[in-house]
Amino acid sequence: MAPFALLESVNSPQDLRSLPRQKLNDLAGELRGFVLDTVSKTGGHLSSNLGTVELTVALHYVFNTPDDRIVWDVGHQTYPHKILTGRRDRMSTLRQLDGVSGFPVRSESEFDAFGTAHSSTSISAALGMAMASKLQGSARHSIAVIGDGALTAGMAFEAMNNAGVEDCKLLVILNDNDMSISPPVGALNRYLAQLMSGQFYAAAKDVGKRVLKGAPPLFELVKRLEETAKGMVVPATLFEGFGFNYIGPIDGHDLDSLIPTLENIKQLDGPQFLHVVTKKGQGYKLAEADPVAYHGPGKFDPAVGIKSPPVAPKPTFSNVFGVWLCDAAAADTRVVGITPAMREGSGMVEFAKRFPHRYFDVGIAEQHAVTFAAGLACEGLKPVVAIYSTFLQRGYDQLVHDVALQNLPVVFALDRAGLVGADGATHAGAYDIAFLRCIPNMAIACPSDELQCRALLSSALASEGPVAVRYPRGSGTGVDAGRSLDALPMGKGEVVLAGKRVAVLAFGTLLHMAKPAAQQLDMTLVDMRWAKPLDEALLTELCKTHDCFVTIEESAVAGGAGTAVLEWLHSTGRRCEVLQLGLPDTFIEHGDPAALLARVGLSAQGVETSIRERFF
């Protein structure tokens, strides 16, 4: 029999619901194997998806999807959901150009009730759906599946606070696996951990075993009562305080517990809260042992596991930032590092080890991270907030009012600026120049290589106001970044190649994409370095000797660095034709970064073609 024979008979949740109940454990086993097989060939999120297999099966078995709505928080755990909802045959295209997304996308399937990829939005969205159902006179259910790490974000509690006073068919499922991308932090995580390991319960369990082990039926009864007591006494005081009916915790890998519980919950009125305990990497021993390593692996052999990669020929920008932060902290005791739950991705592992008392992981709480940094800056410290460009969007109000308005010296190290590849539009850092440039007191640095990244981070640290240094995912040219803490002057660019008539103004790493065209067409090439403040003195000189400007940036053209140049030209009354090259006014999907850049005309050939068509 084929290894996925039963799974291949399920092309929709309706097929799943027609299976005999006793077949579901076999289906879950095949589904887990299929997820492992798929991700090992395509790369993607693994540990989280292995941990939600039974929960996914149970939800689609009990609820009438897609009429009943399931909203998956973050959405990186939805591969089993995609496989069961008609996309099994396309999973070989996972996270590839024009292929299946790694996250829920409404346009991809009617079963993807809400598009997600950022954390802690599920309860708000599901509550909106539940209230819409009530207003429309529908009996459909709305379910939010949220991980324990996502509960560190205030938005989840704002939604629960709202939901607790509404009479609607809302079910919130806490997928408690004690694991986010970085280890979960904060008081709430300790609270949930204490629930499962408290001395009161451990002692009671030991006493029960000694007293009742001679009476098996009574022992089994007390064991069940003990599990019920855990749910009634401890977390109920938190979640029922929000107005939810709390149920759990139950084993999230036990279909004999999940299915009857969900069927009972369907009959209850008002907001319900189900606490399930799962294990990341469930069923694959290597992922169970190291869920962080298997959180988002590339291609690998499941029989062997992830091999230690060879030493990278050149460090990533994240690596360069991490080394710089350690060096800066060693040189200045006022330097502190902050991350909103992205220690590994932002290159802060070594800093956390060397400077534990100056390292702050605030959880998935970008708003708090920004204002927390502002408070530190008020007291004379030098906070560095390491944050992905796409996640800084979530702290925008705090950036404006708590940092920039008070002109506080906070450094924002913006990782993943520009396109990010397989994670797609939700994670692309396309908008930071546009949304930062309009804020008074903000400065924006755009390094073109690793050495410049380090120098501009030092410039930011030396500034008396807020500065963002944006750099892309992955490696640059491979130039040695060195260990110097010397800074570059604020708002000053540099002519890289001297040419005639046309000046190419490059903001960031696309400088190197434009260089062949500049050489071929005898154009001046300028490394602008700063999107704000612009090097107005340099622009003034260039206007005297050039008729045309080409601006190039790996960010949105609308409101970006090229727009800043246009605004400067207009304000000074200078006449100069400008071609703006950058990311178009559309969301760019997932795929290989080089292919995506080529698709929007930002390959070396695309840049040259655009310039030739306009000016030659």
Task: List the catalytic residues.
Answer: 280, 366, 394
The pairing of strands 530-532 and 443-445 is antiparallel
Give the list of residues 6+ apart from residue 591 with CB closer than 8 angstroms, or none.
95, 96, 97, 98, 99, 421, 422, 424
- Cβ count within 10 A of residue 489: 10
Give the residue among 118, 138, 125, 145 at the shortest CA–CA distance from 56. 145
- Contact between 171 and 239 under an 8 Å Cβ cutoff? The reply is no
53 - beta bridge partners? none
383 - beta bridge partners? 336
Rounded to the nearest 10 degrees, the angle between the axes of helix 24-42 and helix 255-266 is 110
Q: What is the DSSP letter of 488?
A: P
- Contact between 7 and 31 under an 8 Å Cβ cutoff? The reply is yes
CA distances from 549 to 534, 539, 575, 577 (A): 14, 10, 11, 6
- Contact between 467 and 445 under an 8 Å Cβ cutoff? The reply is yes
Helical (H) or strand (E) element with 494: strand 494-497
- Contact between 13 and 43 under an 8 Å Cβ cutoff? The reply is no
**Cα-only R_g, the chain:** 27
On the question of a cis peptide bond just before residue 472, with omega within 30 degrees of 0, the verdict is no
Place of tokens 């995506």: 596
Distance between CA atoms of residues 248 and 221, nearest Å: 17
Secondary structure of residue 109 in the 3-state scheme: coil
Q: Where are the beta strands (DSSP E) in 142-262?
A: 142-147, 170-176, 245-251
From the number of C-beta atoms within 10 Å of its C-beta (0-12, 13-18, 19+), residue 47 rates as buried
Start-to-end Cα distance in the chain: 65
Task: Report the half-sphere exposure of 182 (CA within 13 A, side-chain side).
Answer: 20
Report residue 284 as tokens.
């694959």
Distance of CA 368 to the CA centre of its chain: 17
Distance between CA atoms of residues 306 and 304, nearest Å: 7
- Contact between 581 and 602 under an 8 Å Cβ cutoff? The reply is yes
276 - beta bridge partners? 175, 250
